[in-house]
Every structure is written in C-alpha cells, then in structure tokens.
Structure 1
Amino acid sequence: MLTSHEFELLWLLASNAGQVLSREHVHQHMIGRQYDGLDRTVDVRVSRIRKKLGDNSDKPFRIKTVWGQG
C-alpha cells in the first residue's frame, strides 16, 4: 500500500510519462520549497515506490532515473 505522499509522487510521474522531470521540479512540487541539493526526500520516496511496485532498482522498468537530468 502506498502512502499519500508516495501516491502523489507516483501520480506526478505517471502524469508526465515519457518526460524527464528534474529533481528540483519534483522537490518543488512535492515539498513546496526550492531544492537545496542535500534533501533526499524525493530519492527515498522513489526508492520506496520502486520496492512496492517490485521494480528492480538496478535496471528499473517503471521509474527510470536519467543521471544528470532527473
């Protein structure tokens, strides 16, 4: 079962399927303040969603990280 924050993040990602969203954009949308470069909240939520969806973090199928972009 997803938490409300995880669901909100998953909804944001699904609504923008096929697009790369920057960590800054996701952080601003989810947390409501500018990303400071240190906060790992979004990373942890993505990790938890991947685990709950059974997505392999080494070779993700559903939620992909594009290094240097988002």
Structure 2
Amino acid sequence: MLGPTEFNLLKFFMLHPERAHARKQILQQIWGNNACVDARTVDVSIRRLRKTLKNFHPVYSDLIQTVRGTGYRFSPRYLLAA
C-alpha cells in the first residue's frame, strides 16, 4: 500500500513522464518550499516507492529510473519492452 508521500511522488512522476527531475525540484513539488527536509529524503522515498511498486509486480520497480548526475525520471516505456 502506498503512503501519502509515495502516492504524491508517483502522481508527480506520472504527470511528467520521461522527464528527469532533480532532487531539489522533487523536494519542492512534494514537500513544498518551506519544508525542512534533506535532499536524501527524496532518495529514501523513491526507494520506498520502488519497493511498494515491486510488491505489485517485479517489473514495476523499474518504472522510476535514476538519472545519474540529475535525479529521477518515470519511464513507462520500459513496460512496453518487458
């Protein structure tokens, strides 16, 4: 089951597929500008989201990809190849 943060992350990514988002941008979109959270909070939340998605189906954990030097992106195209 998705928690509220994971749900908001998934919703954000699904609204912007195939686009890489920096951790800072994700922090602003999900937690807001006034939140006192670290950029690594994004990493932890992404990891929890991937784990939850993997529980639904193993291939779903690959929907959210790490973009080295940038952040993360949601790529549903990967499902078509699987």
Question: Normalising by the residue count of structure 1, what TM-score does the alignment of the two structures yield?
Answer: 0.79
- Number of equivalences: 66
The 4+ residue runs of structure 1 with deviation greater than 4 A are none
Q: How far, CA to CA, are the matches of 2:48 and 2:70 in structure 1?
A: 21
Larger relative helix fraction? 2
Sort the Cα spacing of 1:69 and 1:39 in 2 relative to 1 into closer, same or farther, 3 A. closer
| C-alpha deviation, 1:24, in angstroms | 0.9
Larger Rg computed on CA atoms = 2
Question: Normalising by the residue count of structure 2, what TM-score does the alignment of the two structures yield?
Answer: 0.69
Gaps of 5+ in 2: 72-82
Larger relative strand fraction? 2
User: 2:23·2:42 contact (CA, 8 Å) conserved in 1?
Assistant: yes
Partner of 1:45: 45
